[in-house]
Chain A
Amino acid sequence: MGNFESKLRNFWDIFVHQNGSAYVLTGLKNTVLIAVFGLLIGVVIGTLIAVVRVFPKYRTLPRILNGICSFYVGLFRGTPIVVQLLVAYYVLLPLFGANWPSLNVCILVFGLNSGAYVSEIMRGGIQSVDPGQLEAGRAIGLSYSIAMTRIVVPQAVKNILPTLGNEFISLIKETSVVSFVGAADLYVAFNSIGSNSYEFMVPYLVMALIYIVLVLLISMMIKLMERSLRKSDRRN
């Protein structure tokens, strides 16, 4: 293990004295930025799509919207995120003559992608609420929208939030592919540290540790949230 010690010392040297820490901090910042804003965009898009897909489809307009939404979901769930990034950055951007920084493109693509997944999470969450709840609300004279927002959605949130946390976790991990379009995330930072010293063992190990710590932190937050949501399940 003497060899490992020198590798460790080597990494520490680069990390502390040769600006490595700044790289890592930028990478960490970008990773978290992409995941957080990606999820935010995803939640907005997902909510819109879920509303359209849950809405009763007696009339023509909801049917057309529903068709568009299922096409969207199929498109984004049917292609790998790397392909979506590449297409967005190397095909669509030049096509429209836009000159966006790659970080913005990543946030947008991850947002659009997670929108598709989040919409399915929300649809499942809403549909798993006992239909009798909506029925009871309607029978007493509340309109569809009021019965949904006051009775069904609050119960659906309890199903949705933990799964949404999982979506956030997988987003954090998926961001490691953004180097395909030149955005500087955690992977890029540690990769460059490794290239500097021709030594990848320690940097990648530390990278793995940082990802694990990030994910553990998030799952702790989810647990706290779940506990406060469980109020009405058992005795209060």
Chain B
Amino acid sequence: MIDVIDLKKNYGNLEVLKGINVTISEGEKVAIIGPSGSGKSTFLRCLNCMEDPTGGSIIFEGEDLADMHVDINLHRRHIGMVFQQFNLFNNKTVIQNIMLAPVHIRCSERTQALRKAFFRKIFNCFRKEKLPLPDSLPTKRQIIAKERAHAEELLRRIGLETKADVYPSTLSGGQKQRIAIIRALAMNPKVMLFDEPTSALDPEMVGEVLDLIKQLANEGMTMVIVTHEMGFAREVATRVLFMDGGTILEQGPPQEFFSHPQNPRTQEFLSKVL
């Protein structure tokens, strides 16, 4: 599903990623672990081009996202991302947070379709064989109603339907992060990227967020998770990558990875954190 080929990223003279090759197939849950400064967050952020790669390519659904001519916004709609700092939109209520992107994108698709239909209608006057006009489009109000229903359904799923109309500043960290996750889900993404989703949370709230991620994993969502929660990685991941110094030093299925690490650097790291 995602093919990463020789991915490189430099900040000035600092080489953060030194040529990474990974293939992530559909339904996989990949956990990325490693010491801080090893480039794991940078790698994750390169996957949807939040950081533009310096070299190499990222093939997602047959297109190279690292190519600057690709419309990255189209592809990002299929790649959900969850941040360490939640990043809920502070000026929007919870339900507006969830609906904003889907409504905007459906509405702009509708505008484009209307424009196309309009020109086709005009040109049809001069054509012998009339081209078919598109079926009737949903009105803006219908789009909003549909997305609102979807958002409410997602909120019900995490049990926060009563919080629909409050602003994010009134929520706890765990609630914010769970809403950030369903905000990404509202776009029906094919992959989800998690950038240390529980690192900024109170210990008490880590559980509820991990539970939600686990649920998604069980539903078959493809995921890439940068995490420091080794227990979680062992339980949920189907593959664990260990990164250090901008390269992937070791990878494997979690049971094998955690019980019999091969690389000495991995052994050292695991002995410190486990």
Interfacial residues, chain A to chain B (CB-CB below 8 A): 130, 132-133, 135-143, 146, 150-151, 154-155, 158, 231-236
Contact = CB atoms under 8 A, between A and B. Distances in A.
Nearest to A156: B91
Given A133-B89, A135-B87, A139-B81, 9 more contacts: A132-B83, A133-B90, A136-B81, A140-B80, A141-B75, A151-B91, A151-B92, A234-B170, A235-B169
Contacts of A143: 73
Q: Chain A contact residues: over half helix, strand or loop, or mixed?
A: helix
Contact of A146 (B85, B104, B169): B104
A151 B170 CA distance: 18
Which among B50, B90, B183 has the highest number of chain A CB atoms within 10 Å?
A: B90
Which among B73, B83, B88, B180 has the highest number of chain A CB atoms within 10 Å?
A: B73
Nearest to A129: B90
B81 A234 contact: no
Contacts of A146: 104
Interface string B160-175: 0000011101100000
29 contacts: A132-B83, A133-B87, A133-B90, A135-B83, A135-B87, A136-B81, A136-B83, A136-B89, A139-B48, A139-B79, A140-B81, A140-B101, A140-B184, A140-B187, A141-B76, A142-B73, A142-B100, A143-B73, A150-B104, A151-B89, A151-B92, A155-B91, A232-B90, A232-B91, A232-B167, A233-B167, A235-B166, A236-B166, A236-B170
A233 to B, nearest CB: 6
Contacts of B73: 138, 141-143
B167 A138 contact: no
Given A135-B50, A141-B187, A236 B83 contact: no
A139 B77 contact: no
B53 to A, nearest CB: 15
B274 to A, nearest CB: 31
Interface string B174-191: 000000100110010000
B122 interface: no
B105 interface: yes
A61 B238 CA distance: 47
A154 B91 contact: yes
Contacts of A139: 48, 50, 76, 79, 81, 83
